[in-house]
Amino acid sequence: MSARETVLDGVTVVDLTTFVTGGFCSLMLANQGAEVIKVERPGYGDDNRHSGPPFVDGESPYFWTVNYDKRSVELNLKSEAGREALYDLVAEADVFIQNYRPGTEERLGVDDETLREYNEDLIYCSISAFGETGPWRERPGYDLLVQGMSGIMSVTGEEDGQPVKVGLPQTDLITAMWSAFGIMGALYRRERTGEGDYLELGMLDATLPWLTKQAGKVFAGEEPRRMGTKDPVLAPYQQFPTADGHVIVAALNQKLWRDLCTAIDREDLLADDRFAENADRVEHMDALEAELIATFEQRSTDEWMDVLVEAGVPAAPINDVDDALDNEQVRARNVVQEFDDGDRTVPVIEHPINYERADSGFESPPPRLGADTRAVFRELGYDEERLDELAAAGVFGEQED
């Protein structure tokens, strides 16, 4: 589809996933130049198309953020003709992704064993909540459940408050990134060996390695706890209230601690034995927090930012999402852009990888449901008579030529 020289030039991905986990995985591959063919249910499509409100002209902006640079094909996989059409797609593909509950893929005839009859070199990626084995393998699972079961919610929130969900679908995105990483590894291995592969991963498995500091405390015989924005092993490393908002301070070594105390005119803290070293500051974190709150509450966030940035102390305001998406740094890096396809203008958040010798980045807005069905199958060699037969049989949704 593209004349760019991308890392995944010539790689075709057939994506049967819904919602975010598989969608963000294939989105990452699309950003690196893969052609992603999104196979959707006729007339309805990916459930994420309907996530909301809000909607913009009937479309879900949430769906947009997970589906740039893809092509949409409608196929009824419960029909024999629909499955045969899918097999033709798979025969020419490099990667196949699905996120069905284990067992569903066999019932639909899209399991690894079946598809490998059509393409023995296929990279097949199966994503589920708990993986293909274990006593929980058939349980349904979503981000909220996995955040709870993985321990994330137990360490998120204020110390004296209830467990809190992270405000974004964190475990969906974690799993998506592991999936894309695994697919890239499998493609690299195939270049060396000529062999396809089967990848399977569960959301819970994917999330546990991200516990890092908290797992370290458990390994040391301690119990991690909710700490608000404080850190279990660093201090001061948290947000503090100011006269009109909040400021985040990350003074994570001795030099930065000294620079912070000097910048805020609290050199007295440097002489306090409770705060001498990082370990001391962690041990006396509550006392340190009280001292610093008393100082930071005296001035506004902007005033403190001027002071701390000038002193070279790592600090930041807590932006709302509007400000996070629109500020001088984001504009300078051209992270947030817009696509205009003539009918609509769609914002896009670019992905962060910038190569010196290869291209990356999105080129097109998310697809309308079924917009590419006929074009994709024409490219596979289907003539108009065959396309009309399939449409009449209900294999495709209503299509405009």
Question: Contact, 238 vs 289, CB < 8 A?
Answer: yes
Give the 3-state secondary structure of residue 308: helix
User: Would you give the distance in Å from CA 377 to the centre of its chain?
Assistant: 30
Question: Closest Cα to residue 281, out of 253, 255, 303?
Answer: 253
Structure tokens at 28: 């990452």
Chain length of the chain: 401
Which of these is catalytic: 46, 112, 172, 205?
172
Side by side, the strands of the sheet bearing 237-241 are 237-241, 246-250, 315-317
Mention every residue, 6+ apart, whose C-beta is less than 8 A from residue 313. Answer: 249, 251, 256, 259, 260, 263
Q: Tell me how far CA of residue 352 lies from CA of 40, 175, 244, 335, 360, in angstroms.
A: 28, 18, 32, 8, 9
Q: Based on the residue annotation, tell me whether 172 is a catalytic residue of this protein.
A: yes
Q: Which amino acid is at 273?
A: D
Other CB atoms within 10 A of residue 127 CB: 25
Residues annotated catalytic, as ranges: 172
